[in-house]
Every structure is written in C-alpha cells, then in structure tokens.
Structure 1
Amino acid sequence: MKRYFASLLLLFALTPYSYAQNKPMEVPLYPQNKVPGNLPGPNDEKSESGGGILRVSKIKIPTLTAYLPPADKANGTAVIICPGGGYSIVAIDHEGFKVAEKFNEMGVAAFVLKYRIPDTKNQEDPSIAPLQDAQQAILTVRTNAKKWNIDPARIGIMGFSAGGHLASTAGTHFERSLVNNPGNISVRPDFMLLIYPVISADIAITHSGSFKNLLGNNASAEQLLLYSNEKQVTTKTPPAFLVHASDDGGVSPNNSIVFYQALLKNKIPAELHIYQNGGHGFGMHNPTTKDEWMERCKNWLNGNGWLKAQ
C-alpha cells in the first residue's frame, strides 16, 4: 500500500511538465499503468475525426492531460473535465482540450480525463471503471495540489453528456473509494459543472444508450437506481452548475431538471440554465444564441469564491 502511494508521488514528481511554457502534458492516470480491474489483452484504442469532432474509442488505458495556467494568473482552483460520448467514445477535443484552454484563461488549472470505455472484454466490472478513473483523477490532483499551485479544497469536476453522468456520479458516490487510497484522501469533488448531462435511468427521460453501455443490457433495478444520480443526492453533495437546451433530442433536459430539483430539496447551492434551442453536443458554444454559457459558468464560479486568488 505504502509502495503504491510512493509510486504515485514519484510518477508525478518525475513527470516532465513544461511549467514555463505551460504546455499540456498527458500522463498515465495510474502509476506504471497498473489499472485496477483491467483484464489481460491488447490495447485497441483508436482516434477518429469527423464532423469537427475528435472521437477516441476503445479506451483501455486511461490518462490525464494537465493544462496549468501561468503561475502569476493561477487562482488555486482546478477542474477535472470528463468529455461525453455515451460511454462509447470520448469526444476529447471540443468537450475536453478546448474547454481546458478556456479555464486556463480564467486562471483555473484544468485536467482532461480520458476515462475507460466500459467493456466486458477489458474490465472485470465495466460498470465501475469510469468512476474509478474519475476518483483516481481527483485523488491525483489533490495529492499533487501543492506542487501544481492548487488549493486541495477547490477541485471541481465537469462533464458533458455521458461525461456529465460520470461527473455527477463522482459527486454523489464519493463516500466509497473504489481506488487504492492508503492515505484516505477525499475523492469528493468540491463542485460540479454538468453540461447537457445524462443523469437518470427513469425510462421517461433516460438516455438508454449510455446506461446500456455502462451497465449492460440486463441491468438490475438496483443498479439502475444506484446510477440514477438524482436519487443519490444528499446534504453532502457538492454545489452544481448545469446547462441544457430545451430541444435536446439526445438527452432530455429533464435530466438536468430532476437533478437540480434534488439539489434544491437537499439545500445544495445550484444554478441551472436551459436554452430554448441548441440541441445536444454543442460544446462551449451554443450556435443558436449569442449568449456564452461559459461566461455564466465563470460568473457562478466567481460568485462562489472559486476564482479569487488563494
């Protein structure tokens, strides 16, 4: 256990981050790529571009790409970004890298998580693999907070679409750590940013494809309830900022609405923005309006004190 923790620290102590040039650096999420629950076999990951979207599929070895703002601009806040893709692919550019660059402009450190795609060929329990990766990302950033000029109490998580389901799962399932955590470091994010998120398994509003990819075709009622994250909100759930479009034909806006209602019921600070139009998967820029939701997100972060210099 101690050897694992020491390896984790050593990995990031030796990682050649280009602080002066502030260049992003992709590193293995787990020390020596010892990924928990992975089965033996080839790594068939592939990347494809089409329609202006970079899609990464068949992810077996998760990584974390760090975008660190200049030291004189950093305010101590960090965000771990989970791109969407229905738990089938990861749309890593317009819902990942570009978003990270925008956060750097705010003085926020950003970390793009390339999480595992659930697959019975690759994992013993595919249903927990993405959550393990999200928890490991939080653990990694929190462990290295001092070195990366981050306040360990100001680490949030962000997710788009199915990545929003993963982010909201991290924000509601943190009581049980699913990764090796000998230091018992908290894996609770301090806030959530959920953009057109998948939330609920309720048949009336669910995105069935995401749940099938995560839980399989024969998920039990108990599993569906467990991963219906509006049902898992408590008074310990972190604050949240949500964005959706009324005409989203991929993921019903009711996913954001029921989660927002659950937050209000538990007196959790929350803000919800629903645009009249925009559809699904618009990333940072909703083409149907001049309004930029990232500016609203910036205002929300600032209003809660997360953009103030530490």
Structure 2
Amino acid sequence: MKKIILVCMMMSAGVNTMAQQVKNIPLWPGNAPGETVKAPMKTSPDNKGNVLRIAEVTDPFISVYPAPAGSTQDAAVIVCPGGGYNILALDLEGTEIAKWFNSLGYTAFVLHYRVPQKQAGALQDIQRAIRLVRSKAADYHINPEKVGVLGFSAGGSLSARASTLYDEQQYTPVDAADQQSAKPAFALLIYPAYLDKGPDRKLTPELKVTAATPPMFLFATADDPYGNSALVMAGALRDAKVPVELHFYNKGGHGYGLRKGNPAAEAWPALAQAWLKQFDKR
C-alpha cells in the first residue's frame, strides 16, 4: 500500500510541475487597441465534442509552453485556435497542440486572441504576439528568426493574414518589442477557412501573396466545407514561387485537431513534423 501511495504522489508532483511551467503573458501593457476594459476571458457553456470553448476575450495574452529541458530545437510556434472568429476552441486547437509541440522539443505559445467577431483586433493581437515572442527569444532559448505560426480554421485564416500582411502596421507601437518584425518565419495552416472569399471562390483579396511570403504547410480534406481555402492558397503561393507543401486528403471533415479516431487528425501531425525539420537547429 505504501508503494502505491508513493507512486501516486510522484505522479501528482509531476503534473503540478508541468502545470507550473505554463506561463501567461499579456500582449498589451494597457488596454488592447480599441478596447475599453480588461476583463477575464469568458468560457462558453457549450462543451459539445468535449471541447473547451472561450466565448469572449478582451484582454488577449499568450500562454507559454517551454520546450523540455535539454531540447536542441531553437524554432518556436505560435498556435492560433479556430472557432469562426466567434470563439476559441482552446484545448482542441490550442493547448493540446502546444503539448504536442513540446513532445517534439519545440517551445509553443497559445494565442488567446480577441473574440467574438473582432477580426481587426485578432490581426493586431497576432502581430503583437510575434513581436513580443521575438523580444523574449533569449528567455526561452529560441532563435528570433525562427518564430512561426500555426492555425486551425479561423486560426488558419489569422495565420494566413499574419503571413501576408506583416508589413502593414495594424496598431500604434506601445513599447520596444514593437521594433521587432511581425513577419512569421513559416506558417502551418491546418484545415484553414475564409481564404477563398475572392470572386469565383478565388483567394481572399485581403491576402497579399508575394515572393516574400513565408513558406507554408497546408493540410485539408475534400469533404471539408472550407477545403477550397487550402487549394487557393497553395495555388497563390505556387504562382509567387513561395515554398509550399499541400496535403489534401479525401476524408476528415473539419475541426478535428489531432485527436484520435479521425484519419486526417492522425495523418497531418507526422507530415507537419517532417516539414518542420527544415527549421531544425543547424
């Protein structure tokens, strides 16, 4: 009996240690641009599909998931959950993804951007997050030139916007961190949405793809109602001669994260991991 109790205590201590490692960093020293209050985020009562949904964010922040001790990876990823710009699917497309990156040796940051329906604010938040992470690169033993983004669904839209609008100042600089570049080093778009709002379902006009756009990894499926977004983005990147890797599977639908039981969810992580090797420490 004593042995069993000891093991349980050790496991509990390990969990607590992991929880203590996660740190929340506010994006803005005062109110976020255009916001008049700094209120705690609100959770939605809807937990369908065993998904934690955040219904309102007015005080955006990043949650830091440091790489495990001894990791040699110096790239980092800012993870953008989806949710139609209405909510954030926080665990399915945020915290679970950050822990997966940790398992690969990467430092990850989960972006709690403003919702609901604050697309302009969300773009300000991701620009600020990229700059803030770069300014703190030494603290997390990462290369400031290897800070990328990964987004799901609306988070994929946000990541695409960050990757194509990085040279458009979205807010008045607030401190020294804003001297950093807002351009992601790379982007991974997993079942992205809203990228085909142009005429005849072509690329959304807001997205300015040029030869300077960062390299991208895209994954979607044919039975995803938003699947065309990945196709048009891949075509635009190819035309601009930007390095792009597209995987388009037959089945999987939308909104699966990396949870088991969905063929697409079980496929994309290994493909993304292989693609990320080009950013390994040299």
Q: Is the TM-score greater than 0.5?
A: yes
- Give the structure 2 partner of residue 245 of structure 1: 221
**Cα separation, partners in 2 of 1:276 and 1:238, compared to 1, 3 Å:** same
- State the shift of 1:307 in Å: 2.6
- Tell whether 2:269 aligns with 1:294: yes
- Cα RMSD after superposing both structures: 2.4
Partner amino acid, structure 1, of 2:159: A
**Cα separation, partners in 2 of 1:41 and 1:307, compared to 1, 3 Å:** closer
- Give the structure 1 partner of residue 23 of structure 2: 25
- State the shift of 1:22 in Å: 6.7
Partner amino acid, structure 2, of 1:274: F
**Cα separation, partners in 2 of 1:266 and 1:165, compared to 1, 3 Å:** same
- Give the structure 1 partner of residue 80 of structure 2: 82
- C-alpha distance in 2, partners of 1:300/1:83? 20
**Cα separation, partners in 2 of 1:282 and 1:185, compared to 1, 3 Å:** same
Partner amino acid, structure 2, of 1:197: P
- C-alpha distance in 1, partners of 2:17/2:164? 33
- State the shift of 1:107 in Å: 1.1
- Tell whether 2:34 aligns with 1:37: yes
- Give the structure 1 partner of residue 180 of structure 2: 185
Q: TM-score, normalized by length of structure 2?
A: 0.85
- C-alpha distance in 2, partners of 1:95/1:51? 13
- Tell whether 2:263 aligns with 1:307: no
**Cα separation, partners in 2 of 1:34 and 1:67, compared to 1, 3 Å:** same
- State the shift of 1:100 in Å: 0.3
- Tell whether 2:32 aligns with 1:57: no
Secondary structure of the 2:77 match is strand
Offset from partner CA, 1:81-123 (integer Å, 9 cap, x none): 000000000001010000000101111110000100155xxxx
* C-alpha contact (below 8 Å) 1:22/1:69 kept by paired residues: no
- Tell whether 2:251 aligns with 1:259: no
Partner amino acid, structure 2, of 1:38: E
- C-alpha distance in 1, partners of 2:65/2:41? 26
**Cα separation, partners in 2 of 1:78 and 1:268, compared to 1, 3 Å:** same
- Give the structure 2 partner of residue 46 of structure 1: 43
- C-alpha distance in 1, partners of 2:80/2:41? 21
Q: More helix by proportion, 1 or 2? A: 2
Query: Which ranges of 4 or more aligned residues in structure 1 deviate by more than 4 Å?
Result: 18-22, 40-44, 203-206
* C-alpha contact (below 8 Å) 2:31/2:37 kept by paired residues: no
**Cα separation, partners in 2 of 1:186 and 1:19, compared to 1, 3 Å:** farther
* TM alignment of 1:128-277, pairs within 5 A: 128-179=120-171, 180=173, 182=176, 184-198=179-193, 199-202=195-198, 205=201, 225-226=205-206, 229=207, 232-249=208-225, 251=226, 253-277=227-251
- C-alpha distance in 1, partners of 2:197/2:36? 28
5+ unaligned residues in a row in structure 1: which ranges?
Answer: 1-17, 120-125, 207-223
* C-alpha contact (below 8 Å) 1:45/1:60 kept by paired residues: no
Offset from partner CA, 1:144-169 (integer Å, 9 cap, x none): 00111010010000110001000000
* C-alpha contact (below 8 Å) 2:87/2:116 kept by paired residues: no
- Give the structure 2 partner of residue 112 of structure 1: 110
**Cα separation, partners in 2 of 1:19 and 1:136, compared to 1, 3 Å:** farther
**Cα separation, partners in 2 of 1:176 and 1:297, compared to 1, 3 Å:** same
Identical positions, percent: 37
Secondary structure of the 1:225 match is coil
- C-alpha distance in 2, partners of 1:46/1:139? 27
Secondary structure of the 1:137 match is helix
- State the shift of 1:30 in Å: 1.4
- Give the structure 2 partner of residue 66 of structure 1: 64
